[in-house]
Structure 1
Amino acid sequence: MTRTAVIAGQGALAPAVIAALDAPLVYALEGFAPEGVDAQPFRLEQLVPFLDSLLDQDVSRVVFAGAIRRPRLDPELFDNRTAQLVPRIMMAMQSGDDGALRAVLDVFEEHGLQIASVAEIAPDLIPGEGVLVGQPTPSDRRDAQRAALIHATLGPLDVGQGNVVAQGQCLAIETLPGTQAMLAFAGSHAGLRPNPQGARGVFFKAPKPGQDMRIDLPTLGPDSVTQAAEAGLAGIAWQAGGVILLDRAEAVRRAEATGLFLWAMEPSGI
C-alpha cells in the first residue's frame, strides 16, 4: 500500500491537497502549520530522523503544499546525520530559495521518497488554457504579454512570480513581501499610467523559468481577485498549467462581481 505524506505550509493550498487524498499523513515545519490543519510538527535540524520515520510508516510519496519561509535553525538541535547535510544545503542556498528547495528535494529522493506535484494529486486545481470569466481587450492582452516578458527576463534572478503591467508600463514586481503587498503598491501608483482613461492594467503570475514544478507553484485564489479589483486592475492572467487556482467557483464569482477577467494564457504564447 502506497502511503502519502503532505508537508503542509501556510495558506489554503494544504487543506485543498489534503482533501484530495485518502487519509494522508500530515506534517508541518514547526511554526508553519496552516490554520485549521492537524499537522505533526518537525524541525529541519532533525530532517534525517524525520525521513526515517516516514519510511518506517511505509510512506513512499511526499507532496509539498503551502507557503514556508526559511526557518531559523538552532545549531544545538542538529543530529549528526542531518548536520552532515548543512554544508550542501548552505551552498545551494547561495543560488536562492529555488536552489535550497532543490537541495531539500534531493535529500528526500535519496531516502527513497517520491516527490509528487500538486498537479498529480489534485489536477483540477491547475486550470488549462482559456478565459475563465470576462474578456481581456486587445490592450489587456498586450499588457499581459509584456508582463510575461518581464517575468521571463527577471526569472533567473529568483525575484518573484508576478508583476503588474498597465499600458505597457510595469507598475510593480512581486518580491519577498508577496502578492498582496505588490497589488497594494500597484493600486497606490495607478496614477502613473500614461493615459488615466486607458487600459487599467493586468496582474500576471507564472512559475519562474526553470522552476521545479513539483513544489512552490504560484497560487491564486478568491483573495487575489479581491486584491486585484481593489488595485483597480482589469484582470488577472497567468501561465496555463503552471499556476494553482484555489476555490475556482468563488474566484470566478468575485471576478464577475467586480468586472475582472481571469485568463489562463497558453504557455507557448508567453
Structure 2
Amino acid sequence: MTKAEGENRFELSAADRVAVVAGSGRLPVNVADSLAEAGHQPFIVRIAGEIDPGTSLSGYDGETLAVEQFAALLPLLKRHRITHAVLAGAISRRPAWRAVRPSVSLLRILPRALAALTRGDDGLLRILVDTIEDNGIKVLGAHQIVPDLLATVGRMGAHAPMKSDWADLNAGLKAARAIGALDIGQAAVAIGGRAIALEGIEGTDLLLERVRDLRDNGRIAGRKRGVLVKSAKPNQELRADLPTIGPATIDAAHAAGLVGIGVEAGRSLVLDFGEMVARADRLGLFVVGLTGEEGEE
C-alpha cells in the first residue's frame, strides 16, 4: 500500500484561500475534494474544454478560463484574494496564438513565456510557477495537499513482478529518464528487456494505444508480458506535471497486453488508489514503486 508520510502535507491556515487550476483527469478532483474535506473550500479555475464533465469540480466556486487567456490567470487569482495555487490536471493543447487578445497582463509575461517555449513544456511550467510566486501567491504541488497521492517504494496490490519482469522495469526506467532529460515525455514501454515505445507529446494514454496497435498489427507478435514505466524528468518542476497513474492507466496497460506498471517512488502520483489497486488485482497486473536502484535480474 502506498501511504505518504505526514510531513509531506502543507499546513494551511484558516485565512488561506486556495485555487485549483484544473485541467483534465482525476487529479484536480482529488485535490479539490481533499481541500474541502479539510475545511478549505477551493476556488476552481476551470480550463475551458479540459475538465471532465460530471465531477465535483462543478460544485465549487470558480471561473472558467480559456487556455488563450493564460495572461488573465494572475489578475483572476489576485481579484479573488487567492493565497495559494495548485496546478492540477492535463492541458491537451497549447494556445491558438491568433485567439490571444493583447492586454497589459500579456505584455508583462510574454517575453518570459516566449523564452520558455524554447525550453519545452517544463520550461513553460517553471515560468508559470515563478510568475505566480513573484506576485505573492504560493504554488503548491498536489502531493502537498494530498500526501497519500505520492507513490512509495514497493508493491501496490496483490501481484508482484516476476524475475524476468525486472529487466523490463529497469529498461523502461532508463528509457523514461532519457526522454525526460530531453523534455520529451515521462513514460516508456519495455518488452523483452528493451524499450519498444516512448511517450511523446501525445501522452501516456495514446502511447499505450500505440502499443496495443503494434500488438494487433503483429509488430510485436509473440512478445509476451511487458511493462509501462513512468518517471519524473531529471529537472522536473515538482509542483506541477508529476507522472501520474490511476484506474484508467491500469485499463489501458491491460488493453495493450502489458502485465505491470512501474512508477518512480516519491516523484509520481497514484490517483484513486483503492480503485486502482482493485482493478489491477482483478486484471492480474502488478504495480510497483521504483527507486531506480532495484537491479533485479
Give the structure-1-normalised TM-score.
Answer: 0.91
For residues 214-233 of structure 1, the C-alpha deviation after alignment (integer angstroms, 9 at most, x for no partner) is 00111111111111111111
Shift of 1:19: 0.3
Match for 2:152 among 99, 110, 128? 128
Tell me the C-alpha RMSD between the 2 structures.
2.1
Aligned to 2:199: 174
Shift of 1:102: 0.9
Name the stretch that deviates more: 117-126 or 179-188: 179-188
Distance between the aligned counterparts of 2:178 and 2:27, measured in 1?
28
Asked if 1:2 corresponds to 2:16, the answer is: yes
Distance between the aligned counterparts of 1:65 and 1:241, measured in 2?
17
Compared CA separation, residues 118 and 76, structure 1 to 2 (3 A):
closer
Gaps of 5+ in 1: none
Aligned to 1:156: 181
Shift of 1:65: 0.8
Compared CA separation, residues 135 and 81, structure 1 to 2 (3 A):
closer
1:191-210 to 2 correspondences below 5 Å: 191-192=218-219, 196=222, 200-210=225-235
Compared CA separation, residues 121 and 154, structure 1 to 2 (3 A):
same
SS of 1:108's equivalent in the other structure is: helix
Gaps of 5+ in 2: 1-14
SS of 1:64's equivalent in the other structure is: strand
Asked if 1:255 corresponds to 2:277, the answer is: no
Match for 2:267 among 234, 238, 242? 242
Give the conservation status (yes or no) of the 8 Å contact 2:152–2:265.
Answer: yes
Distance between the aligned counterparts of 1:63 and 1:216, measured in 2?
11
**Amino acid in the other structure paired with 1:123:** P
Name the stretch that deviates more: 259-268 or 75-84: 75-84
Shift of 1:29: 2.9
**Amino acid in the other structure paired with 1:41:** T
**Amino acid in the other structure paired with 1:127:** A
Distance between the aligned counterparts of 1:45 and 1:193, measured in 2?
41
Give the conservation status (yes or no) of the 8 Å contact 1:213–1:242.
Answer: yes
Shift of 1:269: 4.4
Asked if 1:186 corresponds to 2:211, the answer is: yes
% identical equivalent positions:
33
**Amino acid in the other structure paired with 1:150:** A
Distance between the aligned counterparts of 1:262 and 1:104, measured in 2?
32
Aligned to 1:95: 119
- Number of aligned residues: 268
Give the conservation status (yes or no) of the 8 Å contact 2:187–2:230.
Answer: yes
Name the stretch that deviates more: 59-68 or 23-32: 23-32
Give the structure-2-normalised TM-score.
Answer: 0.83
1:8-27 to 2 correspondences below 5 Å: 8-21=22-35, 22-27=40-45
